[in-house]
Amino acid sequence: MKKHKDKRTVLGGLGVRLRPYRGKIALMALSFLVSTLCDLALPTVMSEIISRGVNGQDMNFIAAASGVMLGVCVLGVGSMVAATYLLTFVVNRIHAELSREVFARVHGMDYALFQSMGTGALITRSASDIEVIGMTLQMTLSSFISIPVMIVGGTALALWKDPYLALILFAFVPAIGAVVFFVSKKLRGLWKRSNEYIDRQNSLVRSRLIGIRVVRAFNREKTEEEKTAEATREMADNIIRANVRSGLISPVASLLLNLAIVAVIAVGAVRMTQSQLLTAGDVLAVIQYLLLIASGVVSVFWFLSMIPRLRVSVNRVDEIMTAPQIPPAEDLGKPPFRGEVRCEHLSFAYGEGAGEALSDLNFCVRAGEKVAFIGGTGAGKSTLVRLLIGLARPTRGELYFDGEDSARMSGQRIRSNVGCVLQRDMIFSDTLRGNVTAGREGISDEEVLSALKDAQILDFAQKNGLDYEIAQGGVNLSGGQKQRIAIARSLIGRSPVHIFDDSFSALDFLTEANMRRALSERLKGETQFVMTQRVSSAMSCDRIFVLDGGKIVGEGTHEELLRSCNIYREIYVSQTGGAL
């Protein structure tokens, strides 16, 4: 429970979050109170109409009481509408604030922490977990006044009418609540199961559609059809099971409620033999109270059955809220790098106990030099990129920019000096212009177009315009187009150091050759790192480093390495068949 004292957590910070709205919340609570009292008043007035009006032969009373009833109705609906207005305002506001805060905190995390929490998990937390919290907040705020008042007031009124009749309420109402509680608790598992089967059928059909050429080539449509049919039947079984269980709530709850009504009438009759004070109108009123209380209790138990899920969501969001944040950068005003990059005994491991992804790297790249790092998957190229742009920090050894130790620089400063095209660089759902400028301000269309030109994608930009809307995930672009837009983005603004991480893999050879020519013109005098698997991309560089298993196993020009480095020669032979 100590955890909730932490003001950063969802529950601990709830007070702080609600404070700005305390006036609205107080008004809302008052409105809910009024509307609940109105709900309770109606059966009471009605029973008076029967007892005093009809039985007491008082026509004036009937008219007056009906007028009162109408007035109560108007007051009830008026306060309810006001309460709903305030409720939706406050809840949605807090929901929006909470989502923004979580979002900002995720983006303020360290890259390693982000990776260890996982993209998928963080998306769930930022979207559906907050959704659950918002929903619960809405339920809580809307019922923290009305439900207790409804239950307590209804019970009090029933006791006032007749204590023995009220006893029936105590017997039946909790039973109804319990049924709702247990069935809905069970249901969650069943729905989850049935969703799993829906997913299974979906992924089967999806895989079949994606592999349609293979399926057809091997004439296996029949097998696929049978598999789908089987999965569909299983899915139907599970859906039926969940539906049938959830369909149980309503008949059982209404049966219990109806039994209670019969019991009230029967006990009412018995009580009337003993007491002159109880009238038929009173019995009717108790039945109405019963209905009101039952609906209140049902929502309480429904809420209780939600708590486990709420707790999971709150804990997951709290993990984000309490996660450490990168301190704000204070060294952004310092002059830009000249472009010299030096490593001394640089090593890196993903987490403790994991093997070293990079070990004991030593190199010095002069300002304006163009170097390549060549190696297969798992050689450590992408890890090196992360270190060079400050997304990860060396486990051992040092990385210097212009002789200054990068350990004393903020990641933001490093990244504002080192431009990088990542291996799987994201293309955002934004305009073409927005993707190239990437949130940097004051960039003219000329600059954007010149970057697009050097990235060999000017024809596309001219055909579609800079306002071309790119769909999410860049689905309306080919792999090569995405890669070229990412390259154009990195060319905007002057970075003293450039990194291209496998950035030409989706380009055909002619385009790559043209791009290389344009880049060497544009980036003259700036340091370049080319991370690649292709000899053809590496051979034009001033120096080539051969990475294998996280170590540098060769260094030199293309010709030198062909003579001196076995691994380089192997790569070369596999890619060229030994020609030239």
Asked if 522 and 454 count as a contact pair (C-beta separation under 8 A), the reply is yes
Closest distance to other proteins from the beta carbon of 334 (Å) = 15
**CB-based burial, 29-59: b 16+ in 10 Å, e otherwise:** bebbebbbbbbbbbbbbbbbbbbbbeeeeee
Q: Would you say 127 or 152 has its CB closer to other proteins?
A: 127
Residues 70-109 that bind other proteins (CB under 8 A): 70, 72-74, 76-77, 80-81, 84-85, 87-89, 91-93, 95-96, 99-100, 103-104, 106-108
Among 476, 564, 566, 575, binds other proteins (CB under 8 A): 575
Stretch binding other proteins (CB under 8 A), from 148-156, 160-168, 207-215, 523-531: 207-215
- According to the binding rule CB under 8 A, does residue 63 interact with other proteins? yes
- According to the binding rule CB under 8 A, does residue 536 interact with other proteins? yes
Other residues' Cβ atoms within 10 Å of the Cβ of residue 233: 12
Q: What value, to the nearest 5°, has the Cα angle with vertex 385 and ends 381 and 391?
A: 135
Closest distance to other proteins from the beta carbon of 508 (Å) = 5
| In 275-380, alpha helices (H) | 280-321
Residues 21-40 that bind other proteins (CB under 8 A): 35, 39
Closest distance to other proteins from the beta carbon of 189 (Å) = 18
- Tokens 């049978």 belong to residue: 226
Closest distance to other proteins from the beta carbon of 512 (Å) = 8
Closest distance to other proteins from the beta carbon of 62 (Å) = 4
Q: Which two tokens stand for residue 238?
A: 């599970």
- According to the binding rule CB under 8 A, does residue 244 interact with other proteins? yes
Residues 181-200 that bind other proteins (CB under 8 A): 198
Closest distance to other proteins from the beta carbon of 152 (Å) = 20
Residues 407-436 that bind other proteins (CB under 8 A): 411-412, 415-416, 420, 422, 425-426, 428-429
- According to the binding rule CB under 8 A, does residue 509 interact with other proteins? yes
- According to the binding rule CB under 8 A, does residue 346 interact with other proteins? no
Closest to 130 (Cα-Cα) out of 272, 314, 383 = 314
Among 10, 28, 36, 53, binds other proteins (CB under 8 A): 53
Distance between CA atoms of residues 502 and 306, nearest Å: 48
Asked if 289 and 157 count as a contact pair (C-beta separation under 8 A), the reply is yes
Among 178, 212, 364, 407, binds other proteins (CB under 8 A): 212
- According to the binding rule CB under 8 A, does residue 18 interact with other proteins? no
Stretch binding other proteins (CB under 8 A), from 177-185, 251-259, 348-356, 399-407: 251-259
Query: Please, which contacts does 229-237 make with residues 24 or more away whose CB atoms are closer than 8 Å?
Result: 231/197, 231/200, 231/201, 231/204, 232/201, 234/197, 234/200, 234/201, 235/194, 235/197, 235/198, 235/200, 235/201
Q: Would you say 203 or 564 has its CB closer to other proteins?
A: 203
- According to the binding rule CB under 8 A, does residue 42 interact with other proteins? yes
Stretch binding other proteins (CB under 8 A), from 52-60, 316-324, 351-359, 454-462: 52-60
Residues 116-175 that bind other proteins (CB under 8 A): 119, 122-123, 126-127
Residues 466-485 that bind other proteins (CB under 8 A): 472-473, 478, 480
Number of residues that bind other proteins (CB under 8 A): 156
CA 349 to chain centre: 29
Q: Would you say 166 or 486 has its CB closer to other proteins?
A: 486
Q: What is the DSSP string of 237-291?
A: HHHHHHHHHHHHHHHHHHHHHHHHHHHHHHHHHHHHHH-SS--HHHHHHHHHHHH
- According to the binding rule CB under 8 A, does residue 54 interact with other proteins? yes
Q: Residue 552: in which H helix or E strand, if any?
A: strand 551-556
Among 219, 335, 355, 525, binds other proteins (CB under 8 A): 219
**CB-based burial, 448-462: b 16+ in 10 Å, e otherwise:** bbbbbbbbbbbebbe
Asked if 241 and 190 count as a contact pair (C-beta separation under 8 A), the reply is yes
Closest distance to other proteins from the beta carbon of 438 (Å) = 4
What are the C-alpha distances in Å from 104 to residues 97, 112, 218, 465?
Answer: 11, 17, 50, 32
Closest distance to other proteins from the beta carbon of 4 (Å) = 26
Closest distance to other proteins from the beta carbon of 167 (Å) = 18
Burial class of residue 432 (count of CB atoms within 10 Å of its CB; 0-12, 13-18, 19+) = buried
Among 272, 306, 466, 562, binds other proteins (CB under 8 A): 272
Site string for other proteins, 303-342 (x = CB under 8 A): ----------------------------------------
Q: In the chain, helix, strand, coil percent, each to 5?
A: 65, 10, 25
Sheet holding 356-365, edge to edge: 356-365, 341-349, 396-401, 404-405
**Phi and psi at residue 348, to the nearest 5°:** -150, 135
Among 7, 22, 55, 148, binds other proteins (CB under 8 A): 55
Closest distance to other proteins from the beta carbon of 501 (Å) = 10
- According to the binding rule CB under 8 A, does residue 450 interact with other proteins? no
Residues 356-415 that bind other proteins (CB under 8 A): 376-378, 386, 389, 391, 411-412, 415
Q: Which two tokens stand for residue 509?
A: 């050879």
- According to the binding rule CB under 8 A, does residue 207 interact with other proteins? yes
